[in-house]
Amino acid sequence: MRFPYQIYPDTMKMRIVIEAAILVLIILSCACIPASAYSSDAIGWYEQGNALIKNKSYNGAVTAYDHAILLEPSYFEAWNEKADALNRAEQFTGALAASDRVIALNADYVPGWINRGYILYNLGRYDEELNAYDTAIRLDPTSPDAWFNKGYSLAGMKRYDEAIAAFDKVLALDPTFPNLEANRRIAEQNRDAITPFYIKYAPALGVSALFILGAIVWYCAVRKKY
């Protein structure tokens, strides 16, 4: 009995290779299809919260974010915006608790660390505030927001040279960053105001001292001759 056709070994190998290639293409295609990690209802509540924040309706925003979180407890962006809304409503303790949740869910979320810095500033915990910005910078060294807020924090701690260096980093990353020039200028003015005159004018004083010393030496040498 003869079969209509025969599958030879080489043909079989070719079919296996082709089928494997097709399977890989299917997997890659599926991976490239964007998919939201959250339900559409949760996203809707999140967007409503964002709109309420823009309208300065902070308590309403918190309620909207709570609805999103109820639907998606791991929605760390919603937790972060809830923390921001609570901070703006001057509910700092609740804001920090929400921020704790953000970090627990996603410790690499740069906006979460920057927002945490804002909250810690309002709580008067300035060293922790600075650490929050440093963490954001470690995660994303190209974030002008993180560098600017670090500079602002350092200026508040009267560490003006470090603040100016941070503002210069912002300038390199984003020359159009809002309020950058004004804050850098204020940091320079405050630094100059507290710098003792003998340090500020050290080069000129040094030259003057050398000139006077030279004059004294010359005078003594001339006097000895006569």
- Asked, for residue 100, whether it belongs to a domain, the answer is yes
Helix, strand, coil percentages, rounded to 5, for the chain: 80, 0, 20
Provide the number of structural domains found in the chain.
2
Predicted local confidence at residue 140, as pLDDT = 98
Query: Do 72 and 177 belong together in one domain?
Result: yes
C-alpha distances out from residue 220 to 103, 182, 207, Å: 73, 53, 20
Please indicate, yes or no, whether residues 117 and 222 belong to a single structural domain of this protein: no
For the chain (226 residues), the mean pLDDT of every run of 10, in chain order, is: 43 54 46 64 98 98 98 98 98 98 98 98 97 98 98 97 98 97 97 70 59 63 62
Residues 89 and 119 occupy one common structural domain: yes
Determine the structural domain holding residue 91 and report its residue range. 40-196
N- to C-terminal Cα distance for the chain? Answer: 138
User: Domain containing 118 — which CATH number?
Assistant: 1.25.40.10
Q: Same domain, yes or no, for 64 and 91?
A: yes
- Kindly state whether residues 104 and 59 are assigned to the same domain: yes
In this prediction, residue 37 carries a pLDDT of 87
**Claim to verify: residue 163 and residue 78 sit in the same structural domain:** yes
Residues 205 and 181 reside in one and the same domain = no
Domain shared by 201 and 117, yes or no: no
Clarify whether residues 84 and 190 are in a common domain.
yes
Looking at the fold, whether 184 and 82 belong to one and the same domain comes out as: yes
CA dist 204 and 112 (Å) reads 48
Chain centroid to Cα 167, Å, comes to 13
Asked if residue 7 is part of any domain, the answer here is no
Give the model's pLDDT for residue 10: 55
Residue 162 and residue 89 share a domain: yes
- Those residues whose C-beta lies under 8 Å from the C-beta of residue 77, and which sit 6 or more positions away, are 46, 109
- Same domain for 188 and 202, yes or no, is no
What tokens appear for 161 in the block?
Answer: 């040279």
